[in-house]
Amino acid sequence: MAINKILQATVIICASLIFASCAVNKLDNSLDYKTGRYAPSKPFEGTLGVDEFIDLRPQGTTSDAKKWIGFIPGVLWIDFVSETPDTFTGFSSYNSFPFKSSFARAIYRNLSENGLFEKTVYLPEERYAKTKWRLEGIIRQTTLKESCYYYGSGFYAWCTRIIGLPYVSYETELDITLRLRRLSNDEIIWTHELKGSKTDRYYNIYQLMIGKDEKHILSYNFSKILEEKMPSAMESLNTALAASSR
């Protein structure tokens, strides 16, 4: 009887992990965000091209071997830091597109929706479009700190996750430099440092399966930073454009 119960518990745990993994992969991994309207009543003249961002992030990541510490009895949590969560995370399944395109595409879509310019194009898809302006970005930091909870470590950790105890918390930091280039004279008329952070704590595996607003939790957190910080950036851009057209 004891063996049967152990086998049943093992099957339940394995099935739950498989279902969780499948569900997370179906969530929206884009960084799209929504803002209030910030464009003037009349759009600025010309076509804006949004280029793929330049990736200048540090490549440091906590050693993957650190995760094995969780099998040591008495370990209650492990902190895992990744500077490039679009390519590597410690405790979260995250199949994102490269951030250099994800951030650029999200900002492109928001600019298009707001109608800041007569026309807005995404240059990786319309490389030969004739543009008057080009929005460029430099990704300097996308730090993700994951804190994974173990409750005694080893096999027992999975049991606590199945019953819904908190599994992981996130701390994210974002640093992107945005700049607008006028192509007629190759002059950069606007530069903005977009910086933000977000802390999101105590998710169990079922909450990770559901996500937030149909988004993966990590995409949701980064998109929320954009949603909070981009309106002021666009107001600054509006001012720079108005001054340059005088």
Each of the 246 residues of the chain gets a pLDDT tens digit; together they read 555 555 455 555 555 555 544 444 589 999 999 998 787 778 999 999 999 999 999 988 887 777 777 777 777 888 999 999 999 998 888 988 999 999 999 999 999 999 999 999 999 999 999 999 999 999 999 999 999 998 876 666 777 788 888 999 999 999 999 999 999 999 999 999 999 999 999 999 999 999 999 999 999 999 999 999 999 999 999 999 998 876
Instruction: Report whether 231 contacts 36 (CB < 8 A).
Output: yes
pLDDT, residue 207, reads 93
Q: Classify 149 as helix, strand or coil.
A: strand
- Residue spans of the domains in the chain: they are 2-244
Percentages (nearest 5) of helix, strand, coil residues in the chain = 35, 30, 35
> Please, what's the b/e burial string for 124-161 (b: 16 or more CB within 10 A of its CB; e: otherwise)?
eeeeeeebbbbbbbbbbebbbbbbbbbbebeeebbebb
Query: Could you tell me which CATH class the domain 2-244 is placed in?
Result: alpha beta
Instruction: Report whether 205 contacts 16 (CB < 8 A).
Output: yes
Instruction: Report whether 147 contacts 79 (CB < 8 A).
Output: yes
| C-alpha separations of 207 from 35, 73, 167 in Å | 25, 26, 10
Exposure of 231 by Cβ count < 10 A (0-12 exposed, 13-18 middle, 19+ buried)?
Answer: middle
**Which strand (E) or helix (H) includes residue 118?**
strand 117-122
DSSP 8-state secondary structure symbol assigned to residue 210: H
CA distance 95 to 86: 7
CA 17, 18, 24 angle in degrees (round to 5)? 85
pLDDT, residue 12, reads 55
pLDDT, residue 23, reads 43
Q: pTM for the whole thing?
A: 0.86
pLDDT, residue 16, reads 54
- The pairing of beta strand 44-50 with beta strand 117-122: parallel
CA distance 6 to 151: 20
